[in-house]
Amino acid sequence: MTPTPLEPFGARLRRAMDTRGPLCVGIDPHASLLADWGLDDDVDGLERFAGTVVEALAERVAVFKPQSAFFERFGSRGVAVLERTVADAREAGALVLMDAKRGDIGSTMAAYAATYLDPASPLFSDAVTVSPYLGFGSLRPAVELARENGCGLFVLALTSNPEGAEVQHAVRPDGATVGATMLDHLRAENADAAPLGSFGAVVGATLGDLSSYDLAINGPLLAPGIGAQGATPADLPAVFGAAVGNVVPSVSRGVLRHGPGHAGLVEAATRFADEVRAVAE
């Protein structure tokens, strides 16, 4: 039997942000974090780390963002832990954004899309991060499969890493920057969506004044950089302006360093969500 397509991701995300608070918590099992938690840097430590985060927060946060690389480094056993982490988080009601940053062309991009956006896949997620720097059109297989299955994409547009500027701020012959062009593409994909489009942009919370960019894409804006990278929830209005209500701040180490106890993780996540809600209203 063919699974019934999910409600569009943008609508599900809007509801989750409104009810649980606008926060995305990364699941990033750095070797240093495993050590801080008293865990070994192996598959058992990985599983205990990811399982603890899901148990503590899956019924509280809007979005989890597992970083695929930190699971993949352990090979097939690490990927199996990632599969269980995704399934457990979704079963508990959290949305899962797979941070894989995939980008390729043709059948390869279609295979990446099927890995994360096909309900038959063991890594099926609510959304996935993708890189458009082989041209936005190269993402078409992912756009189409996401739309078909009620999933979302977060496209790298104006990222928080300093190296990104040499590509994203480059000026095209028409005078638009590459980053602005990506925002334009997303605005077109989200046209007429309500209450929120399913095709989001990754825009760093550390970038300062972005008033020269039109961030009104009728879709979510994933904002990494809060916490360990130096940005705070209080910085969001200055960075995102009128679009701040659609921002999904992403915090990883700022929450995870308060583990392994459930109480510390819950307190940190709740505090970040409350601070973001206060500046977004």
Other beta carbons within 10 angstroms of residue 120's beta carbon come to 8
Residue type at 268 in one-letter notation:
A
Q: Catalytic one among 84, 90, 101, 140?
A: 101
**How many whole angstroms separate alpha carbon 122 and alpha carbon 80?**
9
Which position has the token pair 């990883």? 252
101 flagged as catalytic: yes
Locate the DSSP E strands across the chain. 24-27, 63-66, 95-102, 127-130, 152-158, 199-203, 221-223, 247-251
Enclosing H/E stretch for 152: strand 152-158
Q: For residue 222, give the 3-state DSSP assignment.
A: strand
- Percent helix, strand, coil in the chain, to 5, is 50, 15, 35
Residues involved in catalysis = 101
